[in-house]
Amino acid sequence: MTGQAARPDLAAYRRFVVAFSGGKDSLAALIRLLKLGVPPDAIELHHHDVDGRGPTFMDWPCTAGYVRAIAAHFGITLYVSWRDGGFSREMARADMPTAPIMFETPNGISQAGGRGPAGTRGLFPQTSSDLRVRWCSAALKIDVLAAALRNQRRFFAERTLVITGERAEESPSRARYLALEPHRTSTGTRFVDHWRPVLAWTEREIWEAIASTGIRPHPAYVLGWGRLSCRACIFGSPDQWATLRLIFPAAFDRIAVREAQSGKTIHRSRSVVDLAERGTPFPAALLHRDERVQADEPEWRLPILTDPWTLPAGAFGDSAGPS
């Protein structure tokens, strides 16, 4: 069942859970699933709200609305999950347990965790492949989905396939991923597999799949970002930080102030202010007013389909992000 080219027998699964960021790769993974004939009513999109349904701190304000618009377009159920208090609360944690995880279910919102050992953070995640210090990926995404799967009885009843959008082309570490393997939540009584359907795809294939549907790319790509991580991703390049400072100065200042207060820079040797000084803003960020305004608003108002469809400025460009 393992191997980079492995593909599951889709008929063996009752439920398909797509970890859906709204980025190009998770969107292409969803499109592939649909084109392989999986019916929309068997698919669930699971989106993790990094800021915990609180005020915007790290993420793009528009992302949750964009994800909802895509779910509505395809007629697919969307479930949102989050760490209570989001990034800001976890970063500020002082001699307290990590906050509980909240997740939407068919019957309302449920909760898991929150009773672990006390601990203290106080620092931004560091730019590292080690998830113990790059804690945002684990605490706000990976662990959140796992909790939602482990704490719902419906995932014990029938086989589930989790779909994610990692690609080997993105980094050496992702190139070592398996296309198909048991999911971390799988047990002797809960059968969950993990499929990465676009692992071997090139970025060109990703954009071709999206173009075939006419779906409007997330505003981040239109404004010049090459990957959809957080708007203030800790892996942000100098050009990303320079663009953020130029077009979303309040968002940039929030990060700069908290970084200074923490006493340790996110980047190992430079502050975000220093990085922004070294970067050049993306020209596209000043050319697309509709996307720029939409990117900073939580309510999605642009058409989810665009005609003619055009390749966004961020395609094949700056791709700083998690490895």
List CB contacts of 89: < 8 A, sequence separation 6 or more: 52, 54, 83, 99
Domain residue spans in the chain? 10-295
> What are the φ and ψ backbone dihedral angles of 294, each rounded to 5 degrees?
-60, -40
Q: How far apart are CA 162 and CA 43, in angstroms?
A: 10
DSSP conformation letters of 33-90:
HHHTT--GGGEEEEEE-TTTTSS-SSS-TTHHHHHHHHHHHHT-EEEEEEETTHHHHH
The dotted CATH code for 10-295 is 3.40.50.620
Nearest to 226 by CA among 291, 321, 136, 128: 321
The C-alpha atoms of residue 231 and residue 197 are separated, in whole angstroms, by 26
- pLDDT of the chain along its 323 residues, tens only? 344 457 899 999 999 999 999 999 999 999 999 999 999 999 999 999 999 999 999 999 999 999 999 999 999 999 999 999 999 999 999 999 999 999 999 999 999 999 999 999 988 998 888 888 899 999 999 999 999 999 999 999 889 999 999 999 988 888 999 999 999 999 999 999 999 999 999 999 999 999 999 999 999 999 999 999 999 999 999 999 999 999 999 999 999 999 999 888 898 889 999 999 999 999 999 999 999 999 999 999 999 999 999 999 999 987 776 66
Least Cα distance to 226 among 310, 319, 292, 313 occurs for 319
Q: Taking the CA of residue 44 as centre, how many other CA atoms within 13 Å lie in the half-sphere pointing to its CB?
A: 22
What pLDDT is stored for residue 130 in this prediction? 84
Give the CB-side neighbour count of residue 240, counting CA atoms within 13 A.
22
C-beta of residue 238 within 8 angstroms of C-beta of residue 275? yes
What span, in angstroms and rounded, lies between the C-alpha atoms of 258 and 273? Answer: 12
The answer to whether 303 touches 163, Cβ cutoff 8 Å, is no
Please list, residue by residue across 92-106, b when 16 or more beta carbons sit within 10 angstroms of its beta carbon and e when fewer do. ebeebebbbbbbbee
